[in-house]
């Protein structure tokens, strides 16, 4: 009996399966750790690339708009009807925006105050 326990005649198939499963689990854990390390390195790189792409796109658009506007503005003579029309139109637009802001502010104030006024009107209708 001692010869059987020291040197088995055939390997245990269940032990071989258990060893294979153990090796697979270890490989999966190592692969997961490697993947996490790779992702941790890739995210800052991708973020930097995306940030630079957005910056360059916005820079190019704003440069194109501002350059073309300044170019056109500089090519127009200063004292003529067209320039005076542009200036008057710009002033009118600024005044219109100011009026719209004042109107929306007064509308918001009226919207909050009629709630107390609506209570008085409901008392009047109830009486």
pLDDT in tens, 40-50: 887 888 888 99
Distances (CA, A) of 65 to 20, 30, 78, 103: 65, 53, 21, 31
99 and 47 housed in the same domain: no
Q: How many CA atoms within 13 Å lie on the side-chain side of 111?
A: 6
Q: Give the residue numbers spanning the domain of 71.
A: 12-75
Let me know if residue 98 belongs to a domain: yes
Let me know if residue 124 belongs to a domain: no
pLDDT: is 10 or 53 the higher one? 53
At 6, give phi and psi (nearest 5°): -85, -35
Let me know if residue 118 belongs to a domain: no
Counted domains in the chain = 2
> Residue 52 above 90 pLDDT?
yes
Let me know if residue 1 belongs to a domain: no
pLDDT bucket at 53, cuts 50 / 70 / 90: very high
pLDDT: is 48 or 14 the higher one? 48
Let me know if residue 119 belongs to a domain: no
At 8, give phi and psi (nearest 5°): -65, 145
102 and 70 housed in the same domain: no
Contact predicate 76/82, CB 8 Å: yes
Cα separation, 46 vs 70, whole angstroms? 36
pLDDT: is 48 or 35 the higher one? 48
60 and 20 housed in the same domain: yes
Let me know if residue 3 belongs to a domain: no
Average pLDDT of the residues in 32-56:
86
Let me know if residue 65 belongs to a domain: yes
Average pLDDT of the residues in 45-63:
93
Cα separation, 37 vs 41, whole angstroms? 6
66 and 87 housed in the same domain: no
Cα separation, 57 vs 108, whole angstroms? 38
Tens of pLDDT, residue by residue over 65-123, are 999 988 988 888 888 888 889 889 999 999 999 999 999 888 887 777 655 555 544 45
63 and 18 housed in the same domain: yes
Contact predicate 8/15, CB 8 Å: no
30 and 16 housed in the same domain: yes
Let me know if residue 2 belongs to a domain: no
């Amino acid at each position: 009996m001692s010869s059987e326990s020291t040197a088995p005649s055939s390997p245990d198939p269940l032990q071989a399966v258990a060893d294979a499963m153990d090796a697979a689990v270890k490989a999966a854990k190592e692969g997961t750790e490697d993947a996490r390390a790779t992702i941790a390195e890739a995210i800052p790189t991708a973020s930097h690339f995306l940030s630079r792409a957005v910056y360059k796109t916005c820079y190019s658009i704003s440069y194109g708009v501002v350059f073309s506007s300044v170019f056109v503005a500089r090519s127009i003579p200063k004292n003529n009807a067209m320039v005076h029309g542009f200036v008057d139109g710009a002033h009118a637009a600024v005044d219109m925006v100011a009026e719209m802001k004042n109107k929306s502010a007064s509308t918001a104030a009226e919207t909050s105050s009629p709630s107390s006024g609506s209570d008085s009107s409901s008392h009047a209708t109830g009486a």
